[in-house]
Structure 1
Amino acid sequence: MSPFVSGYIRFVDAVNYRIGRFVMYGIFIMVGILLWSSISKTFFLPSLWTLEAAQFAMVAYYILGGPYSIQLGSNVRMDLFYGDWSVRKKAWFDVFTVLVLIFYLGVLLYGAWDSTSYSLQYGERSPSAWRPYMWPIKMVMCVGFALMLLQAVSELFKDIARIRGEDV
């Protein structure tokens, strides 16, 4: 494996590992928002912002945690045949599926970038009573899709190394 490819893999894996470990605590932010929503509805006036803020927190948690999930191999697979295959055969199959994933993530990133630029240009707001700006969560989606795309390329490089019999 070339020094550039191994450096790329180390860098992308390190960045996504750190972001994933940080973002995994975002579940507590979402729980806190929903707890406040329950308390405020029971004892005070209901808050207008809690449901949408919890949805935004969940989007950030899910999208920014995706690259970490791919890195750990905790994504869902159909193990009917895959589990019995050799490492090289799994790598060949993974190369094909990662190429499809890279295409899909490219389309998602293109759409997210277009939507974010629209949101910034026109000051798009949510149609709810709270009316938050939409560009911050759309920017999080762009960053998450970009990180997931970088991680998918890293996984592609790892699978190619496995096919060649190189140590990853």
Structure 2
Amino acid sequence: MNNLSSSHQEQVAFADAIDLFIRRTGMLIASVYVVLVGVIITQVVLRKGFASGLIALEELQWHLYAVGVMFGLAYAQVNNAHIRVDLFYGKFSLRTKAWVEIFGMLFLVFPFIAVVFIHSLEFVHSAWVINEHSDAPSGLPYRWLIKAVIPASFGLLFMACVSRFIRDICFLLRGKH
């Protein structure tokens, strides 16, 4: 939901389509947590039961957790489930809240996303060119694949913020109070 109360949620077809796509993607990505739990249980049984853990499973845990968290950013944004430090915002009118959101996105969120996204492309490309893999002999190959989560998840986060931005602009333009 938008930061505006649900009764003032703007229905905008393009933003609704973005949100639906992000919610469906988020639910699909959330399945990595089921796999993560299975990997953790397997690693614990191997370590405690057989005194023999696998480095690849240890690394897979980090990778699965990273995928869930990184893609969870966009899901949290669309569902307004992110943490907000709010000293004054809660007392603002709906119009003021919309202006704060727009200002924050234009001058804080969008530039941050752009910097991370742009710099992550070279990061992923370099890892792909050298076919980067784990330094551990039995570690995971294709490190560029996990690094590719950064631009992909920030691209999705950008889409989520565009949806919020569109809704706030429409709210202000329609003049609802």
1:57-104 deviation digits (Å, cap 9, x = unpaired): 011001111111000111111222111111110000011111211110
The CA deviation at 1:111 is 1.4
Query: Aligned residue for 1:144?
Result: 153
The CA deviation at 1:166 is 5.6
Of 15, 25, 29, the match for 1:23: 29
Instruction: Work out the CA distance in 2 between the residues paired with 1:102 and 1:95.
Output: 10
**Paired AA for residue 40 in structure 1:** L
Could you list the runs of 4 or more consecutive aligned residues of structure 1 that deviate by over 6 angstroms after TM superposition? none
Query: Aligned residue for 1:132?
Result: 141
Normalised by the length of structure 1, the TM-score is 0.89
**Paired AA for residue 87 in structure 1:** L
**Paired AA for residue 47 in structure 1:** L
Query: Aligned residue for 2:47?
Result: 41
The CA deviation at 1:25 is 2.8
Query: Aligned residue for 2:165?
Result: 156
Query: How many residue pairs get matched?
Result: 162
1:91-135 deviation digits (Å, cap 9, x = unpaired): 000111112111101111111111111111111122234142211
Query: Aligned residue for 2:110?
Result: 102
- Greater shift after overlay, 61-70 or 137-146? 137-146
Query: Aligned residue for 2:7?
Result: none
**Paired AA for residue 21 in structure 2:** V
- Kept in 2, the 8 Å contact 1:98–1:155? The answer is no
The CA deviation at 1:7 is 4.0
Query: Aligned residue for 1:112?
Result: 120
Of 85, 94, 116, the match for 1:78: 85
The two structures, once aligned, show a CA RMSD in angstroms of: 1.6
Taking CA–CA contacts closer than 8 Å with sequence separation of 6 or more, which of the two structures ends up with the larger relative contact order? 2
Gaps of at least 5 residues in structure 1 are 1-5
Partner of 1:64: helix, strand, or coil?
Answer: helix
**Paired AA for residue 124 in structure 1:** E
**Paired AA for residue 84 in structure 2:** R
Query: Aligned residue for 2:5?
Result: none
**Paired AA for residue 95 in structure 2:** R
Instruction: Work out the CA distance in 1 between the residues paired with 2:20 and 2:140.
Output: 37
Instruction: Work out the CA distance in 1 between the residues paired with 2:98 and 2:79.
Output: 15
**Paired AA for residue 137 in structure 1:** I
